[in-house]
Amino acid sequence: MIVALATVFTACKDREAEKRIAELESRLADLEGKKTATSTSTPTPATAPAEEKPEGPLPAFQFEKTEHDFGTINEGQVVEYTYKFKNTGEAPLIIQGAQGSCGCTVPEWSKDPIPVGGTGYVKAKFDSNGKPNIQNKTVTVTANTWPKQTVLRFKAMVTPKSGGSDAGPVR
């Protein structure tokens, strides 16, 4: 658990580590979705709902797009993008939460249930302060859909602040 937390905190600074975390999260989600009843591990409340598809009508996301490119931005700039979606399922859609891949990404989402055929949004706000060079971030949305989690992605090329004198620890 400590190693996982340390990896998450350093991921904002290390692009390669962040990619690796995203890959591992994806693999973990795949594994959790494919567990069998003969598994020797005891399911936790967080993984129990992911093991089996719920019965009955379900809501479904249909995002206009799940990836966004902010292009080139300046370090320190705060940018945001709104991912719009339609509920194309057969039941009201409820977003239970959204989590950014690090503290520099703050999500906001539709809080009210989205009726069948209705529209909603997930907004991702990215603070590029201290995040120079290429950035690849995610927002993981948890809802009453199947699968329960949907990953939205964005990227940006962050132009570092100028002024080499600021590169030191303290002036």
Residue 80 lies in a domain: yes
pTM given for the model: 0.66
- Write the CA distances from 54 to 58, 59, 148, integer angstroms: 8, 11, 10
Tracing tokens 């290390």 back to the chain, one arrives at 14
Q: How does pLDDT run across 43-82, given as a tens digit for each residue?
A: 444 444 445 888 889 999 999 999 999 999 999 999 999 9
Per the structure, the count of domains in the chain is 1
Q: 137 is in which domain, residue-wise?
A: 55-162
| Residue 168's pLDDT band (cuts 50, 70, 90) | low
Residue 13 lies in a domain: no
Q: Which CATH number characterizes residue 96's domain?
A: 2.60.40.10
* 10-24, 32-46, 59-73: least confident range: 32-46
